[in-house]
Amino acid sequence: MADTTKVILEGLIFSECPRWYDGRVWFSDMLDHKVIACDPEGNAETVAEVPGQPGGLGFLPDGRLLIVSMTDQRLLRLDPDGLTEVADLSSLAVGNCNDMVVDIQGRAYIGDWGFVKSVPGAPKDTAHLILVTPEGTSSIVASKVFFPNGAVITPDNRTLIVAESYASRLVSFDIAADGSLSNYRVWADLGEKVIPDGICLDAEGAVWVTNSNGFDVIRVRKGGEVAERIVLSLRSYSCILGGEDRRSLYLTTAAPGLFADLQDKRSGRIEVIKVAVPGAGLP
């Protein structure tokens, strides 16, 4: 593995939720209200502008892009003639909607924050995972999760792994044929120094975890063993394994600080580093 990451794009505000699709890494620059696609050479294109702040991304089986619109609690789809609402989640979600993973049938699992406004020192309420079908039917499939964040689906499409940011752990669920979730359990306890944000899965079943409480990204095995660690100069908030061989670990990074500070700094980057084990599963 290379010793350092390579910066392929910079000047962003706060990039999140990367996905590898059709030869490019797609991501949300949340605070710039843009969804951007970037090739490995750094050639970038704005593919959508989302006034409600874009969050989680995912692709339907036919290739159309799904976008979480965070602050107005909606799931959008990018059609040839523009953005279309798939589902209004305001009757289900508490606070902003957040990250998302889309399964092979086009069903979207979306987390919410579980609170309307973050107050320093306030107790953290539990949140939900919401399932949205391609037809736009939505339902809560899990509750009492502590700030569900990045999520992955295993290659057999039977297990959902979710980063519980406020509990410093990864948890997993069994996925039923109808998309419902059961058998909530701890997949890996990461310790109080790690606040897991975005995650991605590799072919050995390990999970790359970005740590929004530090300057590193870690590769974790089931049970919590840290198999690898990459030290970064900025804080990383999400990751995806992409490239033709799915061995390119793309990281969204930015300087630490409040959102208002990040808006001024435009420190956001897309960085990449080669790893030994290719990606697997979804996204």
- Give the pLDDT confidence of 4-43 residue by residue, as tens digits: 899 999 999 999 999 999 999 999 999 999 999 999 999 9
Is residue 1 predicted with pLDDT exceeding 60? Answer: no
* Selected residue with higher pLDDT from 256 and 39: 39
pLDDT band, very low/low/confident/very high, at 2 (cuts 50, 70, 90)? very low
Angstrom CA distances, 1 to 80, 218, 273, 276, 280, stand at 40, 14, 8, 6, 18
* 68-87 per-position pLDDT tens digit: 999 999 999 999 999 999 99
How far is the first Cα of the chain from the last one, in angstroms, to the nearest whole number?
A: 23
pLDDT band, very low/low/confident/very high, at 265 (cuts 50, 70, 90)? confident
CA dist., res. 54 & res. 272, Å (int): 22
In terms of Cβ atoms closer than 10 Å to its own Cβ (0-12, 13-18, 19+), residue 120 is: exposed
pLDDT reported for residue 118: 55
Q: Would you say 162 and 148 are in contact if contact means Cβ atoms under 8 Å apart?
A: yes
In terms of Cβ atoms closer than 10 Å to its own Cβ (0-12, 13-18, 19+), residue 268 is: buried
List all residues 6 or more positions away from 58 whose beta carbon is below 8 Å from its beta carbon: 19, 65, 66, 100, 101, 102, 108, 283
pLDDT band, very low/low/confident/very high, at 258 (cuts 50, 70, 90)? low
All domains of the chain in start order, with CATH: 6-274 (2.120.10.30)
Q: What is the chain's mean pLDDT, rounded?
A: 94
CA dist., res. 12 & res. 250, Å (int): 15
pTM score, whole prediction: 0.95
pLDDT reported for residue 117: 65
* 219-233 per-position pLDDT tens digit: 999 999 999 999 999
Is residue 274 predicted with pLDDT exceeding 70? Answer: yes
